[in-house]
Amino acid sequence: MLARHFVALITALATLSACGQTASDQVRPITISSTVSLAKTVEAVREDLVFESRGVKLAATIVRPEGDGPFPAIALTHGSAKEGRWLRGYQFLAEFFAAQGFACLIWDKRGTGESEGDYIEQPMMEVPADDLLAGVHVLQNIEYVDGDRVGVWGHSQGGWTVALAAAKSDDIAFVVSSCGGGMAIYEQVAYARSVAYKERTGSSEGMKEAELFGRELFRYMGTGEGYAELKPKYEAATKEKWFMVFREWGFTDAVPSPDKLKLAADQFMFRASFDPASSEEAIKVPTLAIFGTGDPSTNTEAAADRWKQHFETSGNTDPTVTVIEGMGHAPWWMKDGEIVMHDEYRAVLTKWLGRFASAD
C-alpha cells in the first residue's frame, strides 16, 4: 500500500489523456500550438520500430521532419508510472521536436504498451538510463540522423534518468531536464508531502517540520539505514498534525522495521534513495535544466540551486538553469480537446535547441 501511494506522486506525462494512433511511415501535417504564439505546421514522418535494451525488446516510434536529413535527434525518456507512446502527451512532444527540425524517438516503457519485459518503477535509474542510451544508439545508427547531434530530454523522474545516462556515456550531445533532478528522490518526495499538508490545511505552519521529517523517513525507507535514530523521531511525529499526510500513504503509529523493508525491496517506495549529484557533476555537454515556480512536486528553488552547484563542481562550460514564473509541474495541458504548451517553456526550448538544429 505504501509503495502504491508513492508511485502516484511524481506523475508527469501520464496525467495527459491518450488519444490517436501511430502508423508506420505515415506522412501527415502536424500543428504545434502554444498558449500565446501562432501555430507552426510542418510535415512529419512517423516510423514504428523495435529496439533492444538489456535483452528486452522495446516498441518505439520515430517522429521526424520530412526529407533526407541528416537531422539532429532527441530521445525522450519517461516520468514515473506506466507511460508510453499511446499517451497524447508523448506524441505531442515528439511532434513539437519534429517541428523544430529534430528526429524524435519515443517508446513504451518496458512492461507497458507493446514493449516486452516487466513493468517496475526503477528509482535507482540504472534500467531506464540504459533504455535511454539504447534509444540514443538507435538514433545514431539511422542514416537520416546526424549521429553527432543526438541529445536526450526527460521530464520529472526523467530528469534523474537523463543525468545518469549522460554521465554513463559520451554519446549524448546535449541534455534537457524538465522539472526534475537536482535533488535526491527522497528529498523531493518529502517536499511534496509538506506541500500536500499546506493544501489540506490552508496553513504553512508545520510545513518545514514535515519536510525535514519526510527526508529522514524516506531516506530510511530507501536505504534501511538509521532505524534506531529515526524510531523516536517517528513516534514523536505521529502526534503532530502534519503527520496526516504520511498517514494518507499508509504510515501507522509504528515505523516499519528494516526486515519489513526487505519484503518490498523491488518497489519504488522502498528504494527512493537515488541522489543525482554524482551524475549531474559528471555531465560535460550542454545542459538545460528548466523548472516552474508553481510546481507542487518539486522544491524548485532548491532543485535549481543544486543543479547550479553540480555544474560548478563539474566544470561544465555550457549549463543553463531556467526557472519560469508560475509554471506548474507539467508545462502542457489539455484545452478544448487539444494539448497546449506553456508559451515561455516553448520559447526557452525552441531557442536553446536552435543551436543543434544546424550542423554548422
Domains and CATH numbers, the chain: 2-182+286-357 (3.40.50.1820), 185-271 (no CATH)
Question: What pLDDT is recorded for position 100?
Answer: 93
Q: Tell me if residue 33 falls in helix, strand or coil.
A: coil
C-alpha span between 249 and 333 (Å, rounded): 27
Question: What pLDDT is recorded for position 29?
Answer: 36
Q: Tell me if residue 360 falls in helix, strand or coil.
A: coil
C-alpha span between 259 and 262 (Å, rounded): 5
Residues 308-327 have pLDDT tens digits of 999 999 999 999 999 999 99
C-alpha span between 60 and 142 (Å, rounded): 14
Question: What pLDDT is recorded for position 360?
Answer: 66
The three-point CA angle 244-245-248 to 5° equals 90
Beta-bridged to residue 261, according to DSSP, are: none
Question: What pLDDT is recorded for position 79?
Answer: 83
Residues 75-93 have pLDDT tens digits of 999 888 788 888 888 889 9
Which residues in the chain come in under a pLDDT of 50? 1-41, 264-266
What are the backbone dihedrals phi and psi of residue 288, each rounded to the nearest 5 degrees, phi first? -115, 120
Task: Report yes or no: 105 and 74 within 8 Å, Cβ to Cβ.
Answer: yes
Q: Give me the residue label for grid cell 484545452.
A: 335
For the packed helices 207-223 and 227-237, what is the interaxial angle rounded to 10 degrees? 140
Residue 296 identity (one-letter amino acid): P
